[in-house]
Amino acid sequence: MTDDPGPDEPQPDEPQPEEPTAPRCIVVGGGPGGMLAAYLLARAGIAVTLLESHQDFDRDFRGDSLHPWTLELMDRLGLAEDLLALPHFKATRFRMFTPAGTVITTDYTKLDSRFPFVALMPQVRFLDFLAGRAAALPEFTVITGARVRKLIFDGDRVAGVAWRDADGPRELRADLVIAADGRFSKLRALSELPVDDLGATTDLLWFRMPRRPDDPAEADVDLYFGRDAYAGLLGGVQDWQIGVTVPKGGYAAARSAGVAPIKQFLAAHLGWLGDRIELLTGFDQITLLSVELKRVRTWHREGLLLIGDAAHVISPVGGNGILMALQDAVVAANLLVPALRRTERPGAEVMSAIQSAREPAIVQVQQAQVRTEQRAADARERNRPLIPGRLLKVITALPGARRRSAARNGYGPYPPALAADLFGADHR
């Protein structure tokens, strides 16, 4: 008696799809970090295949912020001019509307940069743009609809990935697999690498409202604080993305209460939305964005490297998850290209060097977010305001405070430099 073939096993009489040519590197996940890593590797002459689980790169409620560091990187790669020709908004300041008044915490115009602003651009435009540039490189291949289901092992070494698509079971092998598949990373789970949960206390209820030409000109990146909750506002070309906080795990209670409390909050704190508030009629218009703060202790095992949210889940509240993922990709490409050019499988020393270069910045960002989460939880527990508005106004009025905040937000801690010689990039 023989076992029946499992759902991922080829049927005996089925013609099997032709497998793609084995690349040197597989990147799983077509978000910002994965897309940039694949582009840089291909630009450096390394054969890379990008696997994206969806049929395209369009996702709802993805981060849309391209920071000055990102724009300077695009400039060094010769891509900034064409990128910024796409529709976008330039956010020059970051404001908090508190019970004690409006506080400007960050002023990007004070930066010594060709790009003293945050470009707010739908992420799908950025990803499509980078994918288009990557597609022109002979070493780049993209496969969409490839929802990876398992890792392929050669002994203890990760040697590739397997998935199923419309043509049946597929697999692909490579010298290195890069997991860039986001906050709910399948590859992170499959890798069995230990993960530390840093303790998020907040979730976000995300929804959209249409944008009008007479909306406040500088409302592109703002936070609006009530006593028990706050709303984040992110500008788009045609609409606003709005996220209202609820305590961690509070979605069921919020849904039970309906949209009336949310509309009341908007009317009290974002009254300029006017009659658009009435467009929010039910929870079918709302997406739960579960705030996570996690970090993998070791970002790699033999044959596998985790980057971006797959390695370290960044809270969306600070708006710097894209920046951290892109910086991971730059460091990874800087260190992987020389090893792959030597036809080597990148060993533990290369993988460890990538984590060592990036982990201090990630720890600093996550620690700041943990403190913010803890303050919010303490404020709710003690029935105190979520934000000390008066103190914040004093601090941000100090000389250089808004410029320093812009530098921290615009570049992140310990921003890496592109190894320009490896990628034919500008040395500026």
Taking the CA atoms of 358, 359, 364 and 370 in sequence, report the sign of the dihedral they define: positive
Q: What's the pLDDT at 57?
A: 63
The answer to whether residue 111 sits within a structural domain is no
The answer to whether residue 32 sits within a structural domain is yes
Q: 28: how many CB neighbours lie within 10 A of its CB? A: 29
Closest CA to 32 of 2, 68, 59, 5: 59
Domain termination residue (choose one: 257, 290, 323): 290
The answer to whether residue 397 sits within a structural domain is no
The answer to whether residue 357 sits within a structural domain is yes
231 and 258 share one domain: yes
74 and 41 share one domain: yes
The answer to whether residue 37 sits within a structural domain is yes
Q: What's the pLDDT at 202?
A: 84
Domain termination residue (choose one: 232, 260, 290): 290
The answer to whether residue 304 sits within a structural domain is yes
286 and 311 share one domain: no
220 and 81 share one domain: no
CATH of residue 261's domain is 3.30.9.10
Q: 326: how many CB neighbours lie within 10 A of its CB? A: 25
346 and 223 share one domain: no
Domain termination residue (choose one: 231, 257, 290): 290
Query: How many domains, in total, are found in the chain?
Result: 2
Taking the CA atoms of 11, 14, 17 and 18 in sequence, report the sign of the dihedral they define: positive
57 and 128 share one domain: yes
- C-alpha distance from residue 328 to each of 70, 95, 255, 336, 403 (Å): 12, 28, 37, 12, 25
42 and 177 share one domain: yes
CATH of residue 335's domain is 3.50.50.60
Q: 399: how many CB neighbours lie within 10 A of its CB? A: 7
d(CA 263, CA 236): 21
253 and 308 share one domain: no
Q: What's the pLDDT at 99?
A: 78
Q: What's the pLDDT at 9?
A: 46
Q: What's the pLDDT at 2?
A: 37
Phi, psi of 313 (to 5 degrees): -80, 120
206 and 80 share one domain: no
Which helix or strand (DSSP H or E) is residue 36 part of?
helix 32-43
The answer to whether residue 257 sits within a structural domain is yes
62 and 211 share one domain: no
Q: Model-level pTM?
A: 0.88
46 and 58 share one domain: yes
Q: What's the pLDDT at 380?
A: 65
Q: What is the pLDDT along the chain (428 residues), one digit of tens a residue?
A: 334 444 444 444 544 555 556 899 999 999 999 999 999 999 999 999 999 988 766 665 556 889 999 999 999 999 999 999 999 988 898 888 887 788 888 899 999 999 999 998 888 899 999 999 999 999 999 999 999 999 999 999 999 999 988 888 999 999 999 999 998 999 999 999 999 998 778 888 999 999 998 888 777 788 888 877 888 888 877 889 899 989 888 999 999 999 999 999 999 999 999 999 999 999 999 999 888 889 999 999 999 999 999 999 987 766 688 999 999 999 999 999 999 998 889 999 999 999 999 999 999 999 888 887 777 667 666 656 566 666 677 777 777 889 999 999 999 999 999 999 999 877 66
The answer to whether residue 177 sits within a structural domain is yes
d(CA 226, CA 99): 7
d(CA 354, CA 335): 7
DSSP character at residue 112: S
Residue 204, sorted as left (phi over 0), alpha (psi -120 to 50) or beta, turns out to be beta
**Whole domain around residue 81: which residue ranges?**
25-89+120-198+292-381+416-420
Q: What's the pLDDT at 426?
A: 79
85 and 228 share one domain: no
